Amino acid sequence: MLAATPTQHYEALAKRAAANSHVIDCLIGCYDQVGFHEMKSCVNRTGGTVIMADSFNTSIFKQSFQRMFVKNPDGNPTTLERRGNHLIMFF
């Protein structure tokens, strides 16, 4: 029996994750040797987020990472409803 390609492996993983209501995020701190092309179905199928930068130490990576966890302060309504102290990105 032939082994599955990396893309097929990640597509099967994405299908399992989505069926179990899991979200897969990719935080990538280098451009080469990551294999994100093969993993992109995991992020796409589960509604995840990708943050990719040259290094984990770059300011754009740090700002993007911190922005994932910004909370809506109490009393400020969103367009959907009042979400006191919940994550703005609705994770």
- pLDDT tens track for 20-31: 999 999 999 887
Residues near 14 by Cβ (< 8 Å), separated by ≥ 6?
Answer: 24, 41, 42, 44, 45, 46
Beta bridge partners of 50: 26
Mean pLDDT of 40-60: 92
Please indicate whether residue 25 or residue 83 has the higher confidence score (pLDDT).
25
Portion of the chain with pLDDT greater than 90, in percent: 49
Q: Is the pLDDT of residue 77 over 80?
A: no
Q: Is the pLDDT of residue 3 over 90?
A: no
pLDDT at residue 57, rounded to an integer: 93
